[in-house]
């Protein structure tokens, strides 16, 4: 069990899915990236949808919620969706909770693999899946998701957005800020407009332990190098600059990074190797934080 200050932290596995390896690594040649993540016969690589549950301070906070279960067989086949081992509800139950216990949901962004679990279909009608929760989303990202550009249109699903808009449960944020004691968000603009990362620390402690949920700034531990960016990024040069600045801070402060899409690495620290390149160090499960 991992703890930072008054918070207990739980990894919440919500299943896996597959995306084209070329899209996930952009301009990086396949002979390089396939050494690290082996593709299937359709060139898809296996990706986790690992969320984070933060318990404490009278709150039960879920960071992202996977793609949900509203998809049809065609979608499941295209994206190689696999819920045979893990689901959101089962993972919450393993931690001793259910969706009704969640007080807050922090959505890093609204792409379907991060926010699809926000809503569910019951008897043919769409509902918010966390009836007691406030949903925290960046305002500028919310605007962009509801009027998507042509590049991202396929990543934003109306069924994930419209119930939230009508629910009265939406809290729109503006930029970097502390949203609870020891929990802050910061914004990034390379992957999508105003994506937010989530940092957990203990302001009352001198050990300065910090865990950062890095979302799609660093989708896996294989995306540390500047040029290893996703083809999905709307501003790839911005992503490179943002990664460089973020990793300098993370290395200097010994932050632990929580990887959402890496099927093998839950958390890790980053160091510079002998050639000055960022590399993973101390990769381990969250419980060993």
Predicted confidence (pLDDT) per residue in 52-61, tens digit: 999 999 999 9
Looking at domain 2-288, its CATH superfamily turns out to be Ribonuclease Z/Hydroxyacylglutathione hydrolase-like (3.60.15.10)
| pLDDT given for residue 203 in this prediction | 86
Instruction: Return the percentage of the chain with pLDDT > 70, whole number.
Output: 100
By CB atoms closer than 10 A (0-12, 13-18, 19+), residue 283 is: middle
Strand (E) positions, 44-124? Answer: 44-56, 59-63, 104-106, 119-122
The DSSP symbol for 121 reads E
DSSP 153-176: GGG--HHHHHHHHHHS-EEEE-SS
Q: Which residues of the chain have pLDDT under 70?
A: none
Diameter of the chain measured on Cα atoms: 59
Distance CA(31)–CA(9), nearest Å, equals 37
Q: Which of 263, 257, 261 has its CA nearest to residue 279? A: 257
pLDDT digits (tens, 9 = 90+) for 149-173: 999 999 999 999 999 999 999 999 9
> Quick one: the chain helix, strand, coil %, rounded to 5?
25, 30, 40
Q: Which two tokens stand for residue 39?
A: 């593709």
- pTM assigned to the model: 0.97
| pLDDT given for residue 35 in this prediction | 98
For residues 38 and 32, the answer to whether their CB atoms sit within 8 Å is no
List phi, psi (to 5°) of 144. Answer: -65, -40
By CB atoms closer than 10 A (0-12, 13-18, 19+), residue 268 is: buried
Distance CA(219)–CA(49), nearest Å, equals 10
| pLDDT given for residue 207 in this prediction | 76
């Amino acid at each position: 069990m991992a703890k930072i200050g008054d918070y207990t932290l739980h990894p919440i596995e919500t299943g896996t899915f597959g995306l084209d390896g070329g899209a996930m690594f952009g301009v990086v040649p396949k002979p390089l990236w396939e050494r690290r993540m082996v593709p299937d016969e359709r060139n898809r690589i296996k990706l986790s949808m690992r969320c984070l549950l933060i318990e404490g301070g009278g709150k039960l906070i879920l960071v992202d919620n996977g793609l949900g279960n509203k998809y049809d067989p065609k979608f499941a086949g295209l994206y190689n969706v696999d819920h045979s081992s893990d689901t959101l509800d089962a993972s919450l139950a393993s931690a001793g909770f259910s969706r009704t216990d969640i007080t807050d949901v922090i959505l890093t962004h609204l792409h379907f693999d991060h926010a699809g679990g926000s809503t569910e279909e019951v008897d043919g009608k769409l509902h918010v899946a966390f009836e007691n929760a406030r949903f925290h989303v960046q305002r500028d990202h919310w605007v962009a998701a509801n009027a998507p550009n042509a590049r991202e249109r396929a990543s934003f699903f109306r069924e994930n957005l419209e119930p939230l808009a009508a629910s009265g449960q939406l809290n729109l944020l503006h930029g970097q800020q502390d949203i609870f004691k020891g929990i802050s968000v910061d914004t990034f603009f390379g992957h999508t407009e105003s994506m937010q990362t989530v940092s957990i620390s203990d302001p009352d402690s001198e050990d300065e332990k910090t865990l950062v949920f890095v979302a799609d700034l660093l989708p896996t531990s294989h995306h540390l190098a500047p040029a290893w960016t996703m083809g999905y990024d709307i501003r790839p040069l911005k992503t490179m600059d943002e990664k460089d600045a973020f990793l300098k801070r993370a290395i200097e402060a010994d932050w632990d990074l929580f990887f959402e899409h890496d099927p093998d690495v839950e958390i890790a620290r980053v160091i510079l190797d002998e050639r000055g390149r960022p590399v993973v160090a101390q990769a381990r499960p969250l419980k060993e934080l």
